[in-house]
Amino acid sequence: MTNRDQRRTNGRAQRKSAKNERPEASRSATTQASFDQRARTVENGALEWRPGRVAAVVEADVAASSPDPMSSRRHTGWGKAKIVSWTVMVLAAVAFIIVMWIPNLPMWGIVTVSAVFLAGVLSLFVVQSPRDVNPYLDENGTAV
pLDDT in tens, 79-123: 788 888 899 999 999 998 888 888 888 888 889 999 999 998 898
Of 31-40, 53-62, 94-103, 131-140, highest mean pLDDT: 94-103
Q: How many CB atoms lie within 10 A of CB 89?
A: 19
Is the residue at 133 inside a domain?
A: no
Please give the Cα distance from 14 to 6 (Å, whole number): 12
Task: Tell whether 58 and 84 lie within a shared domain.
Answer: no
Instruction: Report the b/e string of 49-69 with b at 16+ CB within 10 A.
Output: eeeeeeeeeeeeeeeeeeeee
Of 65, 83, 102, the residue at which a domain comes to its end is 65
Bridge partners for 137 per DSSP: 143
Task: Tell whether 82 and 48 lie within a shared domain.
Answer: no
Is the residue at 34 inside a domain?
A: yes
> Which pTM was predicted?
0.43
Task: Tell whether 58 and 104 lie within a shared domain.
Answer: no
User: What is the domain extent for residue 79?
Assistant: 71-126
Please give the Cα distance from 60 to 47 (Å, whole number): 13
Bridge partners for 143 per DSSP: 137
